[in-house]
């Protein structure tokens, strides 16, 4: 981390978290943040669901909800970025305050509630996206929608022509009853609508499903079964958790989803279970608690073909993406792997 980034992070830590997030995005758009550029090597290059990535380290949804900083983010060392979540209509989300830092645990609790500018505005920004880079969109549903399942298909229909991939997000804990859509019957019906919308896009794009870490074994088996038969391109594991186990922060009682370091073990166990259930037939993307190369590598060895970061950037800065990618390259070399794909799932049994 460069000194200017360290000083910027220190200053942002002194102000309200949501305001700090907005200032960080503004600095990024203004060219004030140091950008690593492409980070790659023969070992790091990988193919995930047909997408050729410079490296397997991605940016998770939520950092750039409204696709406002696409250019800088594609030059920040990530192998792919995911923006959103986007809903059909703009919505303000839940009342503030709704974002809390748990500094001692290097964690975050949020209850944003899909606050975003809506699919029309986001689609126009995606249409003007820069050349190069892999950009995906997290699809969401409006809180007051009469048909939430249809909302996902509507957003894909409007934005899909400007995307490299899309993610169906039925796992946010901050929209009431949204997680009910993870049940097998409801999920199958929802995905049928999304896949129908995909057929009408100018080009077919991968569609992923993002799941919660709070599912039991039977629920995971159901989701794996739906994923294998619905035409999904892969699963992102996992979103934030409702658990507060082991926390001591004064904010531990705040409602919302917990992300960051405390989520690492729980999300990695879910990832390993899914890897076993799907038998490597569809790619998995590992998310949850990654803050260094060793943790990214552990996700890959547990079954992930790629990984995503977000909360760790609050504490480690944007340069963390490039640091993790370079460190991952060294770990692959040390263990004699010539590619990311060779390492996928080689340590899965340790998490089962």
Catalytic residue list: 172
What is the DSSP code string of 119-152?
HHHHHHHHHTPPSSS-EEEEE---TT-S-HHHHH
At 316, give phi and psi (nearest 5°).
-110, -5
- In angstroms, the CA 197 to CA 203 distance is 11
Instruction: Give the residue from 219, 200, 325 showing the smallest Cα distance to 277.
Output: 219
Starting at the earlier edge strand, list the strands of the sheet with 257-260. 99-102, 107-110, 257-260
Task: Give, for 3, the enclosing helix (H) or strand (E).
Answer: helix 3-12
Q: What DSSP character marks residue 4?
A: H
Say if residue 89 is preceded by a cis peptide, omega within 30 of 0: no
Task: Give, for 236, the enclosing helix (H) or strand (E).
Answer: strand 234-237
- In angstroms, the CA 136 to CA 82 distance is 5
Instruction: Give the residue from 309, 307, 298 showing the smallest Cα distance to 332.
Output: 298
Task: Give, for 327, the enclosing helix (H) or strand (E).
Answer: helix 320-334
- Tally of helices (H runs) and strands (E runs) in the chain: 12, 13
Task: Give, for 314, the enclosing helix (H) or strand (E).
Answer: helix 311-316
**What is the CB neighbour count within 10 angstroms for residue 35?**
17
Specify whether the CB–CB gap between 277 and 314 falls below 8 A: no
User: With DSSP H G I counted as helix, E B as strand and the rest as coil, what are the percentages for the chain, rounded to 5?
Assistant: 40, 15, 40
Q: What is the CA radius of gyration of the chain?
A: 18
């Amino acid at each position: 981390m460069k000194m200017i980034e360290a000083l910027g992070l220190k200053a942002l830590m002194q102000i309200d978290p949501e305001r700090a997030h907005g200032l960080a995005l503004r600095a990024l758009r203004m060219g004030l943040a140091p950008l690593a550029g492409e980070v790659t090597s023969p070992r790091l290059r990988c193919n995930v669901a047909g997408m050729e990535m410079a490296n397997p380290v991605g940016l998770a949804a939520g950092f750039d909800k409204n696709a406002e900083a696409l250019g800088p983010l594609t030059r920040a060392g990530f192998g792919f970025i995911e923006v959103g979540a986007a809903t059909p209509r703009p919505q303000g989300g839940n009342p503030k305050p709704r974002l809390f830092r748990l500094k001692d645990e290097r964690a975050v609790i949020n209850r944003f509630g899909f606050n975003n500018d809506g699919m029309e505005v986001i689609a126009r920004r995606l249409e003007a996206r820069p050349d190069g880079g892999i950009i995906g969109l997290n699809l969401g549903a409006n809180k007051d929608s009469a048909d939430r399942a249809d909302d996902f298909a509507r957003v894909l229909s409007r934005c899909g022509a400007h995307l490299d991939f899309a993610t169906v997000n039925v796992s946010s804990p901050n929209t009431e009853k949204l997680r009910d859509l993870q049940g097998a019957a409801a999920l199958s019906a929802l995905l049928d609508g999304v896949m129908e919308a995909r057929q009408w896009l100018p080009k077919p794009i991968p569609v992923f499903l993002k799941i919660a870490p709070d599912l039991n074994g039977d629920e995971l088996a159901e989701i794996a079964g739906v994923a294998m038969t619905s035409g999904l391109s892969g699963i992102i594991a996992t979103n934030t958790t409702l658990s507060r186990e082991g926390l001591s922060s004064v904010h531990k009682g705040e409602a919302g989803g917990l992300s960051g370091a405390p989520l690492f073990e729980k999300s990695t166990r879910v990832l390993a279970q899914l890897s076993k259930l799907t038998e490597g037939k569809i790619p998995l993307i590992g998310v949850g608690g990654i803050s260094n190369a060793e943790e990214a590598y552990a996700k890959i060895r547990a079954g992930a073909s790629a990984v995503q970061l977000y909360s760790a950037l609050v504490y480690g800065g944007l340069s963390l993406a490039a640091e993790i990618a370079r460190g991952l390259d060294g770990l692959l070399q040390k263990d004699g792997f010539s590619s990311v794909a060779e390492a996928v799932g080689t340590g899965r049994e340790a998490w089962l």
